[in-house]
Amino acid sequence: MGHLHYGGLESFEFDDYTLSHLRTVILGKMGLQESLVFTWTDGSQQHSIWVHPAVPIHFEFDDVEVPDIDPEWLEHLLSLANSPAGLRVGKRQEDSAAKQPATE
């Protein structure tokens, strides 16, 4: 499991497959100096953060080999990130062989 570190204090756990997609989407938005709301579920809890280019962000992967990007899921996540409701992902089960990420 990897971690998304945001603002220097917060750390959120994601599997490397999901984290690799989040990195692509979030850094793409930040590279354009765009903010976004990012919401995810973890069991019975829902979390949301406001991602802003001025706030430090760090993606830490558990494995050196980062999983390949799924173009269809990436396109879906980019569409969500550009919507008023923002980027949303559900917590995947730890079955890394499934390669079928949960989205809401």
Q: What is the pLDDT of residues 47-94, one digit of tens each?
A: 999 999 999 999 999 999 989 999 999 999 999 999 999 999 985 433
Residue 100 lies in a domain: no
| Nearest-angstrom CA–CA distance, 66 and 59 | 11
Report which of 42, 56, 32 is spatially closest to residue 92, judged by C-alpha positions: 42
Query: What pTM value is reported for the model?
Result: 0.83
Q: Is residue 94 part of a domain?
A: no
**Residue 31 belongs to some domain of the structure:** yes
Q: 23: domain range? A: 2-89
Closest CA to 60 of 9, 12, 103, 96: 12
The tally of domains found in the chain comes to: 1
Residue 74: count other Cβ atoms within 10 Å of its Cβ: 15
The beta strands (E) that lie in 7-84 are given as 10-14, 36-42, 45-51, 57-60
